[in-house]
């Protein structure tokens, strides 16, 4: 199904939101956008293949330091896009962007590569869809925001809860209609268990440029437990579970309740269970984010039982008129008076039959990615701000990074959002910017 057919994609139980219907019409009439992808691995393919489903685009270039991965992605894209053309492939994003022939760039690298690639893309004149968290440190995120504004580019962040149909319904029909009443507390959580295979240092495979993979991060030996898809377990390359799963739910709560930046962040946790590997992210963490009038608490555990099997990853908003539970799979509203309301995600598998067989696709998330892409393209057409604008991504990413810093330092951190800095704590302030490995230069110093 393409473009016009997308307008018929509303399924039983959830009508296509009016705003998205208008955006689909708008996007259908746009000129074909030339697209490049930096990091077409697991989620890079999910993103670009959803974009192909809903918009007139031509994917002309792919870039990855893994030659095998980028060739596989090029083959898949050639079968999925209308032209059937195979994108050219690159191993260095700078060579790809040097062509100056891209309208849109999707960034889906490990976290530590987001800043340099996103900034280079906007400098090359492209609008950007950047995966979350936007950066590995706070100073990078601010540099990304400044670059987007300086070059007048639209940047959408991959926090697609803001474009999830059943969550939009919950926000519009329950939160904004006042059915929860006053919300003074919210919690979000993740109880997914992850693998923890032994880290084995071996020579990097000949199809992988390990030096380029590590890039500006501190060098460490290659291990198959890092690449592919294991890098989130290592702080050289990621912000851990807080920056992976936590940012989605914290950002969703901020969007639901129209919250700005956190005033302070405190967090405890660490590695509580023995490990066989050298993964160094926390397996247990609790963080408290203080906003104006609302406290938000995050918790994750990668071990033990889940207190609510229906909500292994989600958020709960507590109001004086009821409780609202939210996840990627649906929502439940339990009012103090009256009947409860339940909604399940609509996966649109009949409208998009290719979703049924696509390898490693998160089928329940695919609709949200499609709508998020539509919102992105609509903002490109109007030169306005998308729903997950880079500034919103910066605010949510910063909060998660501060939580990790608080856990590391063992104390609460006060945040001055107007001046983008920590107050009253020189040690914490110094950690807002991490050192770069040469010859790469931190964007705050560029």
User: Could you report the per-residue pLDDT of 182-229, keeping only the tens digit for each?
Assistant: 999 999 999 999 777 777 888 999 999 999 999 999 999 999 999 999
Give Cα 387 distance to the centre of its chain: 13
pLDDT confidence of residue 394: 98
Which sign, positive or negative, has the C-alpha torsion 60, 96, 72, 112?
A: negative
Topology match between the domains 3-161 and 165-346+390-430? no
Give Cα 130 distance to the centre of its chain: 7
Q: How many CB atoms lie within 10 A of CB 428?
A: 21
d(CA 258, CA 255): 5
Task: Report H helices in 366-421.
Answer: 366-382, 390-409
SS (H, E, C) 313-349: EEEEEEECCEEEEEECCEEEEEECCCCCEEEECCCCC
- Which regions of 220-278 does DSSP assign to beta strands (E)? 264-270
Q: How many CB atoms lie within 10 A of CB 150?
A: 11
Q: Which residues of 196-210 are buried (b: 16+ CB within 10 A; e: fewer)?
A: beebeeeebeeebbb
For 314-337, write each residue's pLDDT tens digit: 999 999 999 999 999 999 999 999
d(CA 28, CA 68): 34
Phi, psi of 342 (to 5 degrees): -125, 140
Compute CA distances 375 → 154, 161, 389, 437, whole Å: 11, 12, 10, 36
Q: How many CB atoms lie within 10 A of CB 71?
A: 15
d(CA 180, CA 267): 28
Give Cα 234 distance to the centre of its chain: 18
Residues in the chain, overall count? 446
| Helical packing angle, 390-409 and 247-257, nearest 10° | 120
pTM: predicted TM-score of the whole model, two decimal places: 0.95
Q: How many CB atoms lie within 10 A of CB 54?
A: 25
Domain segments of the chain as ranges: 3-161, 165-346+390-430
Give Cα 307 distance to the centre of its chain: 25
Secondary structure element (H or E) that encloses residue 300, with its range: strand 294-301
pLDDT confidence of residue 3: 45
Q: Could you tell me which CATH number the domain at 3-161 has? A: 3.40.50.720
Mean pLDDT score of the chain: 94
Phi, psi of 314 (to 5 degrees): 180, -155
State the residue for tokens 């983008």. Answer: 420
Residues of the chain with pLDDT under 50: 1-15
> Do 54 and 374 touch, CB atoms closer than 8 A?
yes
Q: Is 383 left (phi over 0), alpha (psi -120 to 50) or beta?
A: left
pLDDT confidence of residue 19: 63
pLDDT confidence of residue 1: 40
| Nearest-5° Cα angle at 256, 46 to 106 | 25
For 258-272, write each residue's pLDDT tens digit: 999 999 999 999 999
d(CA 200, CA 208): 16
Domain 165-346+390-430 has CATH 1.10.10.60: no
């Amino acid at each position: 199904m393409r473009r016009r057919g997308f307008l018929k994609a509303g399924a039983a139980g959830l009508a296509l939101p009016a705003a998205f219907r208008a955006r689909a019409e708008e996007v259908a009439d746009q000129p074909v956008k030339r697209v490049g992808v930096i990091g077409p691995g697991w989620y890079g393919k999910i993103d670009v293949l959803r974009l192909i489903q809903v918009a007139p685009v031509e994917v002309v270039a792919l870039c990855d330091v893994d030659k095998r991965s980028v060739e596989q992605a090029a083959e898949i894209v050639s079968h999925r896009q209308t032209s059937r053309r195979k994108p050219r492939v690159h191993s260095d994003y700078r060579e790809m962007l040097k062509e100056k022939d891209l309208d849109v760039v999707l960034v889906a690298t490990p976290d530590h590569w987001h800043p340099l690639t996103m900034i280079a893309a906007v400098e090359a004149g492209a609008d950007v869809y950047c995966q979350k968290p936007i950066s590995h440190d706070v100073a990078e995120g601010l540099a990304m925001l400044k670059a987007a504004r300086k070059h007048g580019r639209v940047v959408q962040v991959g926090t697609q809860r803001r474009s999830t149909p059943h969550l939009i319904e919950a926000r519009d029909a329950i939160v904004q209609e006042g059915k929860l009443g006053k919300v003074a507390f919210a919690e979000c959580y993740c109880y997914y268990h992850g693998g923890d295979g032994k880290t084995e240092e071996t020579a990097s495979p000949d199809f992988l440029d390990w030096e380029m993979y590590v890039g500006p991060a501190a060098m460490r030996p290659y291990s198959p437990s890092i690449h592919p898809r294991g890098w989130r377990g290592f702080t050289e390359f990621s912000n851990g579970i807080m920056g992976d799963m936590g940012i989605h739910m914290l950002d969703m709560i901020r969007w639901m309740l129209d919250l700005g930046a956190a005033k302070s962040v405190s967090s405890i946790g660490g590695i509580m269970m023995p490990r066989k590997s050298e993964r160094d992210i926390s397996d247990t963490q609790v963080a408290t984010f203080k906003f104006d009038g609302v406290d938000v608490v995050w918790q994750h555990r990668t071990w033990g039982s889940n207190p609510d099997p229906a909500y292994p990853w989600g958020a709960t908003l507590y109001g004086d008129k009821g409780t609202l539970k939210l996840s990627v799979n649906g929502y439940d509203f339990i009012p103090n008076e009256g009947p409860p309301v339940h909604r399940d995600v609509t996966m649109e598998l009949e409208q998009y039959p290719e979703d049924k067989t696509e390898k490693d696709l998160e089928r329940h998330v695919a609709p949200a990615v499609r709508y998020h892409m539509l919102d992105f393209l609509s903002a490109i057409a109007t030169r306005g701000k998308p729903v997950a604008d880079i500034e919103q991504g910066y605010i949510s990413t910063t909060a998660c990074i501060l939580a990790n810093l608080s856990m590391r330092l063992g104390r609460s951190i006060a945040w001055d959002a107007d001046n983008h800095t920590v107050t009253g704590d020189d040690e914490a302030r110094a950690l807002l910017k991490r050192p770069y490995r040469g010859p790469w230069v931190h964007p705050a110093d560029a």
